[in-house]
Amino acid sequence: MRLANRRASSSSPVWWRSSLHLLAASLFSFSISLIPSPSVSLSESTIAQLRKQLKSGDITPADIIKDLHQGMEKVNESLGAYISYDVEAALKEAETADLSLPLGGIPIAVKDNINVKGQPCTCGSKFLDENYTAPYNATSIDLLRKGGAIPFGRANMDEFAMGSSTENSAFFPARNPWDLARVPGGSSGGSATAVGANIALAALGSDTGGSIRQPAAFCGNVGIKPTYGRVSRYGLVAFASSLDQIGPITKTVEDAALVLNHLCGHDARDSTSLKVEVPDFTSALGQDLKGLRIGIAKEHFIDGIHPGIREAVEKAVKQMESLGATIVDISLPHTDIGIATYYILAPAEASANLARFDGVRYGHRAEVPADVENDKRLLYHYQKTRSEGFGPEVKRRILLGTYVLSSGYYDAYYVKAQKARTLVRRDFTEAFEKVDLVVSPTTPVPPFKIGAFRDDPLSLYLEDLFTIPANLAGLPAISVPCGMIQHEGVELPVGLHLTAKPLDEVTVLRAAHAYEQATEWHKRRAPGV
């Protein structure tokens, strides 16, 4: 194991920070309470455990839903995990649950940007507040239901999935169950909080630059972003269409495989959906790591990473080596341009995707005073609706995206970013000639205090350093708990990040499961919940 040496050979400590500030400068300056313990037991279980109890008839789906609901009623106000939930609808669905199905009678929370017919879908935005009820199901919801699952609860999120802390929710922030003064990560922070606090068995999230994996790491959960195109995006409210993927946040790797089995598959309604076989992801579980080559990139072990995170990840890599893996030094030389590339491409796509929120078709609609002249009414309506409906981060992204797409700047920013994306992708293609997996920390820093980055959005963007490349390259990646660190007087979870080549979720899950089973980290539950 040569990880310790990498510290000395790391490149400039601040290159990732400076590259981002350069980007910003070159564009324009833009502007505890303790959780009451819900004395529950079913909700503390994993899906795999509950399946057995359901099949034997010891419990019913309604028992699980009632147990979860009891917990939600007790702690959701302090945690902000759910924007809404409808226990009656879930109980009604439970009456006809087919327990012979793999997920028969298992309730699953859903991020509030994935459409479930008849339920709200706020996207964490006032724009879609009480004015929008989903008229159709996302394909992922249809597939989950086909597997027997029951969608239960709309999980809190950063507005339109833009953020890393869930502080950008237009309703209330979600809180980290390990320390209520801290963020649970984002943008799928409500999903991760709910799973971490045992008020969801599992939850769907969406991941454009890290939004499944980073909150999973912050809350001590497992979170997997599948290969781009594995899971249909139909019915997921689009943020950046070339990057968005739906995936599960769960308590264990086995549960992640179980849920993933019922999310994937070709869908003619999503033109980027892949026409490929879907393996049984649970078949990857229970194997050791013999013969597996794990790549450690020097660009991932730089100064600026919290020392406790570095130590936990180094230990995890050693453990994987002791389980039979071979550790290989690799280089991903374009890691440093990942964030800057993403923060051009994602806002560009967002500015186009969010144009549909115009006050005519969906959600919020501003009043136009009678004295506004006829020829100005349309523009007035559009401007006022969008000014009122979107929060500050969404406005920032739309402005940024519109700017990089505007004539005169398109080549300098958007086209250049597309070229940079190719370089990031190529790094991985070359690396995967030598290794089967790339392992790194999921995040450079532990969960931070709510409000810590309120006036510094650029520093918050740095959170995505290790997760964004998998989105840019369309690769499957997982975060799995790999330690606890003492930080500012509290104990906080650390995530290990594993990335594989396209469509190789099986290897990601196999390695994460072998590591998980050899450690106890996934058994740790947040205090007081």
Residue 346 contacts ligand GLN per CB under 6 A = yes
Which of 45, 176, 198, 211: binder of ligand GLN (CB under 6 A)?
A: 211
Is the separation of the CB atoms in 497 and 478 below 8 Å?
yes
Binding mask 113-152 for ligand GLN (x = CB under 6 A): ----------------------------------------
CB closer to ligand GLN, 36 vs 451? 451
Distance of CA 124 to the CA centre of its chain: 14
Residue 220, CA atoms < 13 Å, CB-side half-sphere: 24
Of the candidates 111, 225, 251, 298, the residue annotated as catalytic is 111
Measured between alpha carbons, how far is residue 341 from residues 71, 163, 171, 346 in Å?
41, 16, 30, 8
User: Cα–Cα distance between 305 and 444 in angstroms, integer?
Assistant: 5
Establish if 187 lies at the interface with ligand GLN (CB under 6 A).
Answer: yes
Candidate list 164, 187, 232, 479, residue with the active-site label = 187
* Token pair 């999503």: residue: 270
Q: Which of residues 49-78 bind ligand GLN (CB under 6 A)?
A: none
Selected from 207, 254, 505, 516, the binder of ligand GLN by CB under 6 A is: 207
The residue within the footprint of ligand GLN, chosen from 161, 192, 238, 296 (CB under 6 A), is 161
The total number of residues written for the chain in this structure: 529
Is 111 a catalytic site residue?
yes
Catalytic annotation present for 479: no
Identified binder of ligand GLN from the candidate list 105, 124, 151, 163, rule CB under 6 A: 163
Closest listed residue to residue 392, CA positions, set 77, 158, 119, 211: 158
Nearer to ligand GLN, 42 or 417 (CB): 417
Q: Does 493 bind ligand GLN (CB under 6 A)?
A: no
Label residue 108 exposed, middle or buried (CB < 10 Å: 0-12, 13-18, 19+). buried
Residue of 165, 191, 211, 232 marked active site = 211
- Near ligand GLN in 235-254, by CB under 6 A: 239
Is there binding between residue 209 and ligand GLN (CB under 6 A)?
yes
Interface with ligand GLN, residue 162, by CB under 6 A = yes
Nearer to ligand GLN, 3 or 465 (CB): 465
Instruction: State the DSSP string of 400-459.
Output: HHHHHHSTTTIIIIIIHHHHHHHHHHHHHHHHTTT-SEEEEES-SSPPPBTTTTTT-HHH
Q: Is 371 exposed, middle or buried (0-12, 13-18, 19+ CB in 10 A)?
A: exposed
d(Cα 67, Cα 61) in Å, to the nearest integer?
A: 10
Smallest gap, in angstroms, from Cβ of residue 308 to ligand GLN?
Answer: 22
Q: Which stretch binds ligand GLN (CB under 6 A): 65-73, 202-210, 275-283, 322-330?
A: 202-210
If the CB atoms of residues 65 and 216 are measured against ligand GLN, the closer one turns out to be 216
How many chain residues interact with ligand GLN (CB under 6 A)?
13
CB 120 within 8 A of CB 133: yes
- In 28-110, alpha helices (H): 47-56, 61-79, 87-95
Q: Catalytic residue at 242?
A: no
Give the residue numbers annotated as catalytic, written as ranges.
Answer: 111, 187, 211
Can you give the binding site for ligand GLN, defined by CB under 6 A? Answer: 161-164, 187, 207-211, 239, 346, 464
